[in-house]
Amino acid sequence: MNGTSSAMAARPPVHRGLADRLRDGLPRLVLAPSFALILVFVYGFIIWTLTLSFTTSRILPVYSFAGFDAYIRLWSQPNWHMALGNLAIFGILYMSACIAIGLLLAILLDQRIRGEGVLRPIFLYPMALSFVVTGTAWKWFLNPGLGLENTMRNLGWESFTFDWLVNKDMAIYTIVIAGVWQASGFVMAMFLAGLRGIDSEIIKAAQIDGASTVSIYRRIILPLLRPVFLSALIVLAHMAIKSYDLVIALTGGGPGNATELPSTFMYSYTFTRNQMAVGSASAVMMLMGIAAIIVPYLYSELREKDR
Amino acid sequence: MKKLAAGVALMALVAGSAHAAEEVEVLHWWTAGGEAAALNVLKDNLAGQGVGWKDMPVAGGSGVQAMTALRARVTAGDAPTAVQMLGFDIKDWSAMGVLGDLNELAQKENWDMVVPAALQEFSKHDGKWIAAPVNVHSTNWLWINKAAFDKAGGKAPETFDDLLKMLDAFKAQGIVPLAHGGQPWQDGTLWEAVVLSLGGMEFYQKAVIEADPAALGGDKMKEVFEAMSKLRAYFDPNFSGRDWNLSSAMVIEGKAGAQQMGDWAKGEFLRAGQKPGTDFVCIRFPGTQGSVLFNSDQFVMFDIGEGEERSAQLKMAAAVMDPAFQSSFNVVKGSVPARVDVADTAFDDCGKKGMQDLADASKTGNLAGSLAHGHAQPSAVKSAIFDVVTQHLNGQITTDEAVKRLPEAVAAAQ
């Protein structure tokens, strides 16, 4: 700034100064509205939720503080433990199945096969549907009286049984199935982009050295895909923690409350059970869960840039 | 949270723009066929007085979703004119100090004398009328397909064991014996009928209304949960998450023998062109004859200031309490009038029986609020009981665990 103004001292100062200032300020001016909105509607409401979790709010927000009372009540609820247990089952299976299937599809598609341009969008298409549509479609498909089981029985296979949707022990796995169906195509696209980004010279060199295809994948390609694994994991992990619409559309949290997740717990306690403080506390716990995943990731990203 | 806040902000912007001459905006969850038809009676009545109707329906049988929508509206400072509401929700909302005052109208029309005291408990706050009761429902009914009923012997079961015998007979006919929808509020509705059937009114009062820990965790309650397990064996495998009106449809179509449900189910039967006595049979849930578990839909009036809106609001309150309206509305809806001075001439046999039962139960002290429909406990406690009942019915916990957990869950929610 100082260098510019001294160099331009001979020119009429007002005109250049204005253009300069405009050029300097423009990015800030353009970003200001969205920044202000995010400040209020994301971070502001995070703080609001945090505040509410320390109050005695029940039907509407009130601001009489009660310390960690809501957190104590939260952790004493069998429903919350149920929700966490379900999240563990759902999260682990969902992430591992999506990555396994996505990687396999990507590797198969990467074999320079004919018609790739047609196949790729076919695999990616489920991602274009909303979770509500996915959930509803799978609800019909898995309903023993309407979908798969009924069809197989009508075709003559009388003993065919697939009643996971209405089975308290298996219902959570139907959510995994629908979730994996929805997201594995997206993971495939990520891996495919990663595979295409690998320098073919390295692979050719390995082939000349006589390495088998399996060991090329195991020793060279998969290690090179590490950043893609990480991104996939981050994206899938936060999708698992916040998944709400899929459960509501597919099982409504039932049978009983066998498919309760932290997100459905948060909604019901905040909005339908008049226990807003407990609901807010559960929302804060979810936020902390996501932060536990995102913060180390951001940290490693920033460190890499510094290097 | 974020979505709600954004919605609130948006509504605050939109609010205040559209206001016709005289109009009421009504938030309700009467979206099933019979219910929507009944509401049209009120719409037409108001249209006759030149008052417009802005509909704000929020689907969902138990009204939970409607209460969520309402919360957003009130937080935004833009309450609707009137909101359909049940029991303890009214108490919760009146404690927030956002409701209007109907005393002037109530005194002029003498509501104190014509509305049963059990209802006034909910329609008044601090001696001030805040709501206009539309109807009295009762939940301890059993709806039976007439053809199946005749084949099973044609004799109404009088005890819980008789009920099991009848369900066995339905099973032998190759139909679903008991049509049930596996949603927590429906599980709760069945549970409270069983509590009343096996324990009688005294036990119901102690366990459900007073939430006495000894009654909630005692031997009688164990019997109730065992009975629930027995009933569970008569459901079809697909009951999970089914809406109540779809279960009614199963009985109407003869695919199922019976359904335990509140008298709003009658609206579905009537709308399907069926007649009580010839196509379907209505009886009190076996073992609960002479007792009535009630819930009452009320239109709660919010404080919306003076002026034209207030005048439309009062017109609506008066229209709701009009005896002619109460009669014609409840004939369609399946419930009975909230006023005791309405003649039963227009009602069918089930309706006449309902009115008679209500009057009798009110005299003998066998009238109590329905838990599942928010007239026995605040919603936090109600939901805590639902948790245990629905987990037990779906086999997530055993009977012993249920009896142990029920008093704990209630205590934790209080």
For residue A13, pLDDT beyond 80: no
Cα A23 to chain centroid, rounded: 38
* B131-133 vs B292-295, strand pairing mode: unpaired
Neighbouring residues of A145: CB distance < 8 A, sequence distance ≥ 6: B236, B237, B238
Cross-chain residue pair A283–B395, CB shorter than 8 Å? no
Cβ neighbours of residue B262 under 8 Å, at least 6 residues apart? Answer: B137, B138, B139, B141, B189, B295, B370, B373
Minimal CA separation from B379 to chain A, in Å = 6
Q: Cα A242 to chain center, whole Å?
A: 7
Q: Provide the whole-model pTM.
A: 0.79
Longest dimension (CA), chain A: 95
Q: Are B24 and B316 in contact (CB under 8 A)?
A: yes
Cα gap A95→A240, rounded to integer Å: 8
**In angstroms, rounded to a whole number, what is the distance separating the alpha carbons of residues A200 and B357?**
85
Residue A241: closest CA among A71, A77, A88: A88
At B161 the pLDDT is 95
Q: Which residues, including other chains, have CB under 8 Å from residue B47's CB and lie 6 or more apart?
A: B53
Any A CB within 8 A of B97 CB:
no
Model confidence at A300: pLDDT above 60: yes
Which one-letter DSSP state was computed for residue A44? I
pLDDT at A129 over 80: yes
What is the predicted pLDDT for the residue at A10? 52
Q: Which of B31, B8, B371 is nearest to A271 (CA)?
A: B8
Using the Cβ of B229 and the Cβ atoms of chain A, whether some distance falls under 8 Å is answered with: no
pLDDT at residue number A5: 46
Tell me which chain A residues have a C-beta less than 8 angstroms from the C-beta of B93.
59
- Contact predicate B138/B129, CB 8 Å: no
Tokens at B327, concatenated: 């009669």
β pairing state of B367-369 and B292-295? parallel
**pLDDT at res. B202:** 94
Strands B280-284 and B256-260: unpaired
With 70 as the cut, is the pLDDT of residue A245 above it?
Answer: yes
Residue A120, SS3 per DSSP: helix
Which of A:122-161 have CB within 8 Å of B? 143-146
* CB contacts, 8 Å: B383 with chain A: 268, 272-273
User: Is A273 part of the contact surface with chain B (CB cutoff 8 Å)?
Assistant: yes
Mutation target for A interface from B238, B250, B397, B414: give the one with most A CBs within 10 A: B238
Cβ-defined contact of A76 to B412 (cutoff 8 Å)? yes
> What pLDDT was estimated at residue B301?
93
DSSP letter assigned to residue A55? B
Q: What pLDDT is attached to residue A14?
A: 56
In chain B, residues 356-385 whose CB comes closer than 8 Å to chain A: 378-380, 383
When CB atoms are compared, the residue of B6, B380, B394 closest to A273 is: B380
CA B25 from centroid of its chain's CA atoms: 22
Consecutive H or E run containing B23: strand B23-28
Share of chain A above pLDDT 70, in %: 94
pLDDT at A187: 94
Give the ipTM of the model, two decimals please. 0.72
Element (H, E) at B368: strand B367-369
pLDDT of residue A280: 95
A211-238 pLDDT, tens digit per residue, is 888 898 888 899 999 989 988 998 999 8
Q: How far apart are CA B126 and CA B108, in angstroms?
A: 19
Which of A166, A244, A264, A282 has the most B C-beta neighbours within 10 Å, making it the best mutation to test the interface with B? A166
Question: How far is A139 from A136, CA to CA, in rounded Å?
Answer: 5
pLDDT tens-digit map of A23-70: 888 888 888 999 999 999 999 999 999 999 999 888 888 888 999 999
**Tokens 């003498």 sit on residue:** B110
Return d(Cα A116, Cα A130) in angstroms, integer.
25
Q: Computed from CA positions of residues B245, B247, B251, B257, in that sequence, does the dihedral angle turn out positive or negative?
A: negative
- Note down pLDDT in tens along chain B; length 414 residues: 445 554 444 444 444 444 446 889 999 988 877 778 888 888 988 998 889 999 888 877 667 788 888 888 888 888 899 999 988 889 888 888 888 899 999 999 999 988 888 888 899 988 899 999 999 999 999 999 999 999 999 899 999 999 999 999 999 999 999 999 988 999 999 999 999 999 999 999 999 999 999 999 999 999 999 999 999 999 998 888 888 989 999 999 999 999 999 998 998 898 899 999 999 999 999 999 999 999 999 999 998 888 888 889 999 999 999 998 898 888 888 889 998 888 888 899 899 999 999 888 888 889 899 999 989 998 889 999 999 999 999 998 999 999 999 999 998 887
- How are beta strands B292-295 and B135-138 bridged, if at all? antiparallel
In terms of Cα–Cα distance, which of B409, B402, B408 is closest to B195?
B402
Tokens read off for B257: 């023998």
Residue of B nearest to A274 (CA): B380
Distance CA B119, CA B131 (A): 10
Q: Which three-class secondary structure state does DSSP give residue B37?
A: helix
Task: Supply the pLDDT for residue B289.
Answer: 93
Beta strands in A62-133 (DSSP E): none
* pLDDT value of position B13: 44
Q: Smallest Cα–Cα separation from B241: which of B388, B393, B374, B139?
A: B393
Asked if A162 and A149 count as a contact pair (C-beta separation under 8 A), the reply is: yes
Cβ-contact A249, A134 below 8 angstroms: yes
Segment (H or E) for B138: strand B135-138
